[in-house]
Structure 1
Amino acid sequence: MANIYELTGQFLQLLDMLEDEEVDEQVIMDTLESVEYEIEDKADGYAKIIKALEADVDGIQKENDRLTSRKKTYENRIKWLKQNLEMCMRATGKKKFTTDLFSFNIQKNGGKRKLTIDVDVENIPEEYRIKQQDAVNGDKLREYLKENGLEGQDGSLNCEWCHLEPQGESLRIR
């Protein structure tokens, strides 16, 4: 693990615990509580650990992207090889044969056949149509509440039939 900050002592021990999937969260919480520093020093230590873990996450994501791309390449090659083999079988008129290792067969796919609607839905008899329930347009409701809603003590916006929850808050480290 490449640390972008120098970690020492209890924070290094904490980072090791966070990286170990087998360490119980309660043990981590107990270690966090036992770290004795001023809040600013503790915050700096936390931020260093957070940044180090974020760097690991980025590295894992890049490796995941690389492997996903490689997987897609293999899937495309498999598809191409199967299409080529099928084309050769059709060209030679052999739709079914067996070798010492494998059996080959061109057959119809299973499952439901694809249905294509060729006319407007209104032109299909009523008995073959599904009635849909009304849906709410959330974006329009948000606009209405922003313009006309009554603000609650908790920061919510209210009307008689809906409300917007208060805007959440979260920690940002820069």
Structure 2
Amino acid sequence: MATLYELTEEYRQLLEMMEDDTVDPEVLQDTLEGVDGEIEAKADNCAKLIRELNGVTSVINEEIERLKARKDVISNNADRVKKYLEKAMIDTGKRKFKTALFGFNIQKNPASVVIDQEDKIPEEYWIKQDPKLDKALLKKWLKDNPEDFAHLEQSEGLRIR
């Protein structure tokens, strides 16, 4: 695989291991820790690995979206053909028949509920919902109002520029 950055042989092998989903994460960690070099050189090479892996992830996500769109088109086409066949059977009056390969029949579907006046439905038919915490709103409140039931916590994370 051609990479954007020039990687040392050790890091190129590590990249190949990371792209292989059969490699044990502990083996990856041990290999990463075993690579020689000063922290600055390791940091540069790690940043190159991160960028490369993120690039691969982006390509995979784009392919997933493309395949989802293709799946939807194919599924919609199958539905259209089924509706066409159903209409043709109804129009010709042939609601049930068999061929050498398949059996066809038009049958009634199970009854479905149609809501006409939602406000008149008795309470027993409603599903009770658990309250859900709005953490964004709570965070705003906690910035100016310290409380004993919750607090703000500052964490750290690596940023690569």
Shorter-chain TM-score range: 0.7 to 0.9
1:114 aligned residue: 112
Within 5 Å, give how 1:74-153 maps onto structure 2: 74-110=74-110, 113-121=111-119, 123-125=120-122, 128-130=124-126, 132=128, 135=131, 138=134, 139-149=136-146
Amino acid in the other structure paired with 1:148? N
CA shift at 1:22, angstroms?
2.0
Within 5 Å, give how 1:24-103 maps onto structure 2: 24-103=24-103
* 1:124-169, Cα deviation, whole Å (9 max, x unpaired): 445x3447467355254333322312xxxxxxxxx14x21441433
> Gaps spanning 5+ residues in structure 2: where?
none
Q: Secondary structure at the match of 1:104?
A: strand
Taking structure 2 as the reference length, the TM-score comes to 0.86
* 1:27-78, Cα deviation, whole Å (9 max, x unpaired): 2122111112111110000011111111111111122121111111100100
Taking structure 1 as the reference length, the TM-score comes to 0.80
Q: Secondary structure at the match of 2:46?
A: helix
Q: Closer, same or farther in 2 for the Cα pair 1:81/1:136, shift >3 Å? A: closer
Give the paired residue count.
160
Q: Secondary structure at the match of 1:2?
A: coil
Amino acid in the other structure paired with 1:173? I
Q: Secondary structure at the match of 1:67?
A: helix
Aligned CA RMSD, in angstroms, stands at 2.2
CA contact (8 A) 2:10 2:35 kept: yes
**Percent identity for Structure 1 against Structure 2:** 45
CA contact (8 A) 1:2 1:52 kept: no
Amino acid in the other structure paired with 2:33? E
> Gaps spanning 5+ residues in structure 1: where?
150-158
Q: Closer, same or farther in 2 for the Cα pair 1:85/1:28, shift >3 Å? A: same
CA contact (8 A) 2:7 2:48 kept: yes
Distance in structure 1 (CA, Å) of the matches to 2:121 and 2:65 = 46
Distance in structure 2 (CA, Å) of the matches to 1:147 and 1:134 = 28
Instruction: Indicate whether 1:170 and 2:130 are aligned.
Output: no
Q: Secondary structure at the match of 1:72?
A: helix
Q: Closer, same or farther in 2 for the Cα pair 1:137/1:84, shift >3 Å? A: same
